[in-house]
Structures are given as C-alpha cells and as structure tokens.
Amino acid sequence: MKNIALTGFMATGKSVVGKKVADILSFGYIDTDCLIEKICGMKIPEIFDKYGEKYFRGIEKVAVKRASRLKNHVISTGGGVVLNPSNIVQLRKHGFVICLKARPEIILRNLGDADNRPILATDDVYGKIKMLLDERQHFYEFADYTIDISEMGIDDAALAVVEAYSKLKTR
C-alpha cells in the first residue's frame, strides 16, 4: 500500500485528520513536525528563534525524506513543506499527496493561540494567513487530490481522505 501524505496550510487538520485516517486504514502515522523536533531536540519555535527558517526548511527536507521511506503510513506535513518542490517529489515516490484546504476564517478559528506558530508572529494574524495562502496557493496545486475541509468535522474529513485515497489507488 502506498502512503498518504497530507499537505495544506497550518490548522487545516492535517494532524488530527491524519491520525483518524491512520486508524481507519490500520496504517502507521507520522508527523514531520514532530520528527523535526525529535531530530533537533527542541520545539519548532525554538528552532526558528535560534537558527531561522532556512535552517528549519533544511531539517524539514530530511524529515520528509525519512517519513516518505516508510510504508503504509499517513504522513502529516508542516504547512510550508510544499515550498520545496523536492519534498513533494519525495512524498510522491511512495505515496499520494492529498491537500487539505480551508477558508482563512476557518484556519484562524482552528489556530486558537497562534503563539506557537513563528511564521504568524504579527499583530494581523488573519491578514498574514490570507497573504501566505495567496503566496502558497500554486504550491498546493501539486497535490494529487484536494479536499476543502471548511464545512467538515474531523470524522467527515477523515472519510473524505480515505475516499480520495481509494480513488487514487485505482488510477
């Protein structure tokens, strides 16, 4: 079985939906952000503060490579993983890339406290979300399948991912 790699902007449910999908399909589950923290021995905000985004993206590439080599896994990726096209190539080698998307107001609601999101360190979080969504839109289009989760709960989103995976497997 091929992996399912979930991409999409932060707070679109990649982690929570990914865990649910892994349970439904009896797959393993891995979160590249958690893997990055394990590799570095520190939390992502600390990595950004101490080393900057460029360093973080380099470690992210290593984490994606490790995760994509696994078999029968749901891989939840960080929101910016798509910024490096080689990450998408790597994820596609052993799986399908499914993008979860949501409207900016849904993302803002899902974020709750944005303090642990270094990329959103601003007074206008909503504006920054909209700007980043616009900047990244064309990167997200490289997914094999896209699901708008704006009007879905976790269970419905997970079932939509499973359904998309089933369709992709038969191509």
Known binding residues for Mg(2+): 15
Cβ-contact 32, 67 below 8 angstroms? yes
Amino acid at 135: E
Residues in the annotated binding site for substrate: 33, 57, 79, 136
In eight-state DSSP terms, residue 81 is G
Q: Where are the beta strands (DSSP E) in 3-141?
A: 3-7, 28-31, 73-76, 95-101
Q: Which residue has the tokens 């909503």?
A: 126
Residues in the annotated binding site: 11-16, 33, 57, 79, 117, 136
For the record, the structure tokens of 45 come out as 């905000």
Among candidate residues 15, 38, 10, 3, the one with its CA nearest the CA of residue 157? 15
Helix (H, G, I), strand (E, B) or coil at 147: strand
Residues in the annotated binding site for ATP: 11-16, 117
